[in-house]
A = this chain, B = another copy of it.
């Protein structure tokens, strides 16, 4: 970069900082093009977008692997006055080292090939899902898996310690996450979740979920979910809410945070839940510290923590009785007619109806984590070579039968084609969703204790006051950036290591009474 090459080497940290902010800036341009691809791009423009994204990926990779970065890093790391992780500079250096070591392990051709393959695969996935035709996507998934295996081989993993290829990819989403560690958390959680779900399913009279099927005009749904997003604290002066096939949050900068959601005429709770979920991601992005923009200190901690924020707003807030006390009269006033026939209790019950089903993003809070476990097992098998892309539908359907007790009917659009992630090359990503659910429950217990207890928080929600909770999250988590890795942040915020108990306490305390147990 012209503006860094002239800096004297004797001042490595400012040079590195300037350079890394340039890397972050160029990378944010790629993120914007990705957002545009999912929301705005005309169908005919995808091939060209692939070229644009591949070029940016190559330029960003060239910049990130500039040999001067290695020199600057080494010089800074040797200086304890910079590299102590108690300092902002130390937080940055740790993350830049992690990123540099990973980036320099990938040859540029693999970076470009991966960008091209995923940009095209996303388009083919969307088409395959729309047409309910897995065969259109299979060669693309095969290509992605093959490139992911190549990436893992470049990154390497802890073979001696029993590691596996999957770990090398997960490390990119959450430093320290391994398949073995995930398995240690998932196995007992699965047992306790399945036991709870079995108890609930044994009840003869499930809560009424008629409200979930109520038909409501899509344009009115759009304006309503937008108002909810704004009410819980999303700043539309620094963000947008649009529509895409798969809801997501694209945070290119704390002042340009873009959420998407989706709408069905007869599933308002899907749109509301997706919006609250993405709003949770967005509030995190908008709450990052402006003075550290473009550096790890000003960027979100790993994906598990990101997911803890979306889950918290979707579940701990959006599926609470107090939230529905506030939401109900607004909803009735907004939609009038048909909505007026439902009480707050009915809406609350509908939002919490548990029912093993086929679609992850429409799943209830209890069965959701079982959907994640299926994906984790399958992607682990894809990476190890035990499973090939061509055999995915059969394996998927079998896992759903075993784990959730449901048959995939209606084709692969209802099964292995439902998620965008693998088409984006995001293998190693899914478990962070369940890790996020666990963190969200543990953070929420801490928030409740700090903000005056359950009753106080309920009263705030019922009155539409979400500011105190957001303020606490901002102070404890958002403004911290990457100061801590996920596990350490959990201890710092809650005083305890991550445990499955808060999530199970939360689910049992809410669901057992609703099911008359």
Contacts and interface: CB of A to CB of B under 8 A. Distances in A.
A51 B26 CA distance: 10
Contacts of A42: 236-240, 255-257
Contact of A22 (B29, B33, B45, B55): B55
A36 interface: yes
Interface of A: 2, 22, 25-26, 28-29, 32-33, 36, 40-45, 47-49, 51-52, 55-56, 58-59, 62, 108, 235-240, 252-253, 255-257
Contact of A29 (B40, B52, B239, B256): B52
A256 B25 contact: no
A256 B32 contact: no
B33 A29 contact: yes
A33 B30 CA distance: 10
A75 B59 CA distance: 28
A237 to B, nearest CB: 5
A44 B108 contact: no
Secondary structure at the A interface, as helix, strand, loop or mixed, is helix
Contacts of A256: 41-42, 44-45, 48-49
A44 B238 CA distance: 5
Given A2-B108, A36-B32, A26 B55 contact: yes
Contact of A255 (B32, B44, B62, B255): B44
Nearest to A252: B48
A464 B238 CA distance: 44
A237 B45 CA distance: 8
A43 B255 CA distance: 9
A25 B59 CA distance: 12
Contacts of A40: 40, 240
Contacts of A22: 55
Contacts of A29: 29, 33, 52, 55-56
Given A2-B108, A59-B59, 6 more contacts: A2-B62, A25-B51, A28-B48, A32-B33, A40-B40, A49-B256
Nearest to A40: B240
Nearest to A237: B44
A452 B361 CA distance: 60
Contacts of A45: 238, 253, 255-256
21 contacts: A2-B108, A22-B55, A25-B55, A26-B59, A32-B33, A36-B36, A40-B40, A42-B236, A42-B239, A42-B240, A42-B255, A42-B256, A42-B257, A43-B237, A44-B255, A44-B256, A45-B238, A45-B253, A47-B255, A48-B253, A59-B59
Contacts of A47: 255
Contacts of A25: 51-52, 55
